[in-house]
């Protein structure tokens, strides 16, 4: 939820700064509304593409992290405690 709100707030700020030229009126002009609609749509599409790429790469990242974690445990000196049974690797 926190990440969603950060993205939403950033998108709102970017589009507002890009599209709203004057604060002299209470309502948006037709041109400002159209600009805001297209700006938000572009950013939402870009966010969807990024999330799709991330979801596609996530299994590879998890496998790499598990392999690195396994190598670190194997190279640890004898008697060094390993991870707790059933613990999962850290996920970004």
pLDDT at 32: 95
Pure H helices in the chain: 2-19, 30-75
Identify whether the C-beta of residue 11 lies closer than 8 Å to the C-beta of residue 43.
Answer: yes
Give the burial string for 46-72 (b: 16+ CB within 10 Å, else e). Answer: eeeeeeeeeeeeeeeeeeeeeeebeee
Output the pLDDT for position 80: 54
pLDDT reported for residue 35 = 97
pLDDT of residue 19: 95
* pLDDT for the residue 3: 81
What is the model's pLDDT at position 78? 61
Q: Which domains does the chain have, with CATH numbers?
A: 1-66 (1.10.287.810)
Per-residue confidence (pLDDT) for residue 14, from 0 to 100? 95
Mean pLDDT by 10 residues, the chain (92 residues): 85 94 90 96 91 88 87 66 52 50
Q: Which residues, 6 or more positions from 47, have their beta carbon under 8 angstroms from its beta carbon?
A: 7, 11
| pLDDT at residue 45, as a whole number | 93
Query: Taking a C-beta distance cutoff of 8 angstroms, is the pair 66, 88 a contact?
Result: no
Contacts of 83 (CB under 8 A, 6+ apart): 69, 73
pLDDT given for residue 70 in this prediction: 83
């Amino acid at each position: 939820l926190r990440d969603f709100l950060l993205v939403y707030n950033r998108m709102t700020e970017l589009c507002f700064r890009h599209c709203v030229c004057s604060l002299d009126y209470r309502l948006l002009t037709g041109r400002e509304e159209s600009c805001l609609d297209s700006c938000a749509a572009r950013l939402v599409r870009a966010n969807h593409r990024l999330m799709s790429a991330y979801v596609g790469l996530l299994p590879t990242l998890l496998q790499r992290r598990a392999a690195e974690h396994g190598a670190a445990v194997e190279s640890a000196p004898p008697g060094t405690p390993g991870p707790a049974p059933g613990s999962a690797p850290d996920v970004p």
